[in-house]
Chain A
Amino acid sequence: MTVPLQAVSLEVVLGGRAVLREVSLELRAGWTAVVGPNGAGKSTLLRALAGLLPLRGGQVRLQGRPLRSWSAMQRAREMAWLAQQGLQGGDLTVRELVELGRLPHLGLFGTPGPQDLRQVEQAMQDTECGAWAERRLEQLSGGERQRCLLARALAVGAPVLLLDEPTTHLDPPHQVSLVRLLRRLGEQGCTVVSVLHDLPLALQADRLVVLRDGQVAACGAHDDAALHASLREVFDNALRIERAGGRFVALPDLG
């Protein structure tokens, strides 16, 4: 079975500095969280996977084919990306913003059909922002806007989702909703890759990738002991991993 998203010996150099060094990953259906200390290259990895960065070396493969061989529109339909930075303007209504997610299917000139409208509605429902569909973005709070941006990414209906810090501005209840949503998408067969600096949330994912200094320090299931050991090491032993019910949590180690 083809691997939905694969990084093969990725090398990325930004501003003269090698940010990613020989990163190789296989990302399958389910929710994978990318974690690591500041400056490890998490966002860069996500952007490289999305095809937004020139590669010094290596290759990204989407559904088995090199990313470069995909046309821009095909790639956009297959892989959706959510940026870390926020909006640069607030005139659009929530619905108009989420509809932008259908661009890979409609192009610049196509008119939305029933399928598009349905996807938009579903995306807004999943992120609980349907209530203010007709309100303008600048009238919403940071957290509300983040959910709309999330809905935009979901509206693409792509089997691969790359989310850079999707929990920005979200309060705990909505963080929990997001986790549930990502898990559900993973179960439905989507390949969800999210960069998260929040370790407790990251540990709710199916798999984790630990980055350090532009290289993969560890990669494994959320309950893999070797992964936990690597996590502690990468974060300078500032935390300990404990079992809590069926999952694990990360706690600060003040001892």
Chain B
Amino acid sequence: MSALAVRRRRLGFGLALCSLLLLSAGLVAGGEGWSLAELGDLLRGQDAWLIVGQIRAPRTLGAWLAGGLLGLAGALAQGLFRNPLADPFLLGSASGASLAVVAVLAAGTLGGYGLGHGVGLAAAAFMGALGGVLLTLALARGAQHTLRLLLAGVVVGVVLSGLSDLLTLAAPEALRGRQVFMLGSTGFLGWDGCLLLGTGLALLLPLAQRLSRLLDALVLGEDSARSLGLPLPQLQLLLVGLLAAATGLAVSQTGLVAFVGLAAPHLVRRIAPGPHGYLLAASAAAGAVLLLAADVAARTLIAPQELPVGVLTAIFGGAYLLWLLNRQRGA
């Protein structure tokens, strides 16, 4: 087995091990921070099922699954644009989701509807994310020209952000809710959310892997990929669809968590690069570990208070990028 294949296998084992450790850690991290003693007390008491089973377990698993979706989405985005700086929020999904969330919150405070509370918010965020990407596709007239797609994504992002700012003017209470959404949190994840995330990941990852040869071929350039007989417009559209679905699902349950989608494929490529058939799955696993680690830290660092998980991922992600830049300059 080549050295590279050995490294890939080691990475796989490492990620699996980290996942197990962090999943267990998530059960210990709770209202009083990190306390094995407290966990013991809980398990002996009668609140065990409620606290550990209904609150800690689903949000820990949910963080892992959402991270997996974001990691997958990041690898898809970087493969589609052939750019290592691409992240899953490039096509307007973030601003679409945030606009939808603000709309629901504003309607709730203005009209007093309280539109289905939490369920409404998650569904709205998902629809908003998909809507943002659809708008981008419409503006770019298909997924064929990646430069046009990128530009359309930027335009849609700016316009939808502006609209959501406008809405928060009319309903200032929605501003707080939007802020919390933008910073990300696993606090609202229950088992129903986990089911959605799990089903999504189980469907989207194999589907994406079937497209892995396309992503590999895109390295040759779009024209060469077409000359190899690949129906590029349709396949690229499918890619964008998978990207939107993965991002939308993750965002609807945990809000906007920055950098996980960007950093996960980077880390995998740095440690053990490879073709996309492997890269997609490895990025998903890396993203899962990253988000879960940030979530456990967010719950324990200033307990009993919680940091928004998006703040931690932004700090770590930013630090990682700075370190990368430094390495480039030195090298």
Contact = CB atoms under 8 A, between A and B. Distances in A.
Q: Please indicate whether A and B come from the same complex rather than being unrelated chains.
A: yes
Interface residues of B, number: 26
A85 interface: yes
A226 interface: no
A21 interface: no
Interface string A130-156: 000010100000000000010010001
B273 A91 contact: yes
B78 to A, nearest CB: 9
Interface string A77-103: 101111101011101110011001101
B116 interface: no
B148 interface: no
Interface string B1-41: 01010000000000000000000000000000000000000
A72 B230 contact: yes
B275 interface: yes
B151 interface: no
Interface in B244-281: 269, 273-275, 279
B229 A88 contact: no
A237 B274 CA distance: 51
Interface in A102-131: 103-104, 107-109
A88 B219 contact: yes
B275 A108 contact: no
Contacts of A109: 210
B224 interface: yes
B227 A81 contact: yes
B211 to A, nearest CB: 7
B220 interface: yes
Contact of A87 (B219, B227, B228, B275): B219
Contacts of B223: 47, 52, 81, 83
A73 interface: yes
A76 interface: yes
A70 B303 CA distance: 66
B227 A50 contact: yes
A83 B213 CA distance: 19
Interface string A150-190: 00100010000000000000000000000000000000000
A75 interface: yes
A91 B274 CA distance: 6
Contact of B216 (A47, A74, A80, A96): A96
B217 to A, nearest CB: 5
Given A76-B228, A81-B227, A83-B224, A89 B219 contact: yes
B218 A88 contact: yes
A149 B217 CA distance: 12
Contacts of A83: 220-221, 223-224
Contact of B227 (A80, A96, A108): A80
A77 B229 contact: yes
A72 B231 contact: yes
Contacts of A80: 227
Interface of A: 47, 50-52, 72-77, 79-83, 85, 87-89, 91-93, 96-97, 100-101, 103-104, 107-109, 134, 136, 149, 152, 156
Given A87-B219, A134-B4, 13 more contacts: A47-B223, A76-B228, A76-B229, A87-B220, A89-B219, A96-B275, A101-B228, A104-B228, A107-B229, A108-B210, A108-B211, A152-B220, A156-B228
Please name the 5 residue pairs, one residue from A and one from B, whose CB atoms are nearest each other, closest first: A76-B229, A81-B227, A91-B273, A88-B82, A73-B229
